[in-house]
Amino acid sequence: MAADGASRAAADGLHERLTIGQVLDLLKADFPDVSIPQIRFYEDKGLVKPERTPAGYRKFSHGDVERLRYVLRMKRDHYLPLKVIGEHLEAIDRGLEPPPIEPVVPTVPKVALAADGLPSAASFLRRDNLRLSRRELLKVAEVGEDLLAELERYGLVTASRSGHYDTDALVVAQTARELGDYGIEPRHLRAMKTAADREVGLVEQVVAPHRRASDTAARARAEETASEVAALAVRLHATLVKVGLRRT
């Protein structure tokens, strides 16, 4: 009888329904940056479908929690876009295995690139915790102090308030070094910085209404929209450069 009682208790636990606050508490240990607006955003995207009470309150199953863990893990560790993650979940729902994911190794992260070599929307969403000291940046990027100082002078590389450098600073420094092999110096890159700032301004115009909205879900969508528009802008920019070179 005791065993039967334990089995029934376990079964009841599987059918337990959780509030969004309880779900947040369960996820916080592994994903400290997760928020309620983010969970609502994933629901809006159809990645998780909690039940609704007659009063309209969300009630999540433990299966919903595991789906959210999968979404958060794929974004954090593999930088997958939500569309791809949704395809994975749809395959899992149909009893299929999702495609294999490259193992995560403790190394300097690479920029997420689309198949054609252009940055994808996921690359603009990437948020890693890489922090390099100045000495580490010089060593990993294989640049000299003079080059880094010039990049900083022209606003191409900026250290954080703590004096550390992130992944983007590393990519800029490496790319500047490679361009230097062709005689292109940091002062020549100011035009690229100006063009990038203009593209940022265009993206900001698109997402500004979302960021001003009082709806937290709308503000959460702003980041996704910004990444998608930025990827399209970079694709167009790169294609126009390619077309221009063909004319020379």
Q: Pick the more confident residue, 145 or 109.
A: 145
Domain at 9-93: CATH code = 1.10.1660.10
Q: How far apart are the first and last CA of the chain?
A: 85
Whole-prediction pTM: 0.53
**Measured distance CA(12)–CA(136) in Å, rounded:** 53
Q: What is the pLDDT of residue 227?
A: 82
Going by pLDDT thresholds of 50, 70 and 90, the confidence category of residue 3 is very low
Average pLDDT (125-143) is 83
Average per-residue pLDDT for the chain = 82
**Residues 68-123: tens digit of each pLDDT:** 999 999 988 887 888 889 999 998 888 888 877 765 544 555 555 566 667 777 67
Average pLDDT (40-50) is 93
Q: What is the pLDDT of residue 51?
A: 93
Residue 54 DSSP one-character state: T
Is the pLDDT reported for residue 6 higher than 60?
Answer: no
**How far is Cα of residue 146 from the mean position of the Cα atoms in its chain?**
32
The string over 62-92, giving b where at least 16 C-beta atoms fall within 10 Å of a residue's C-beta and e elsewhere, is: eebbebbebbbbbbbeebbbbeebbebbeee
Q: What is the pLDDT of residue 4?
A: 46
**Measured distance CA(81)–CA(224) in Å, rounded:** 9
**Domain boundaries of the chain, sorted by first residue:** 9-93, 122-247
Closest among 197, 216, 219, 198 to 208, alpha carbons compared: 219
H or E element that contains 30: none
3-class secondary-structure state, position 96: coil
Average pLDDT (48-68) is 92
Q: What is the pLDDT of residue 125?
A: 66
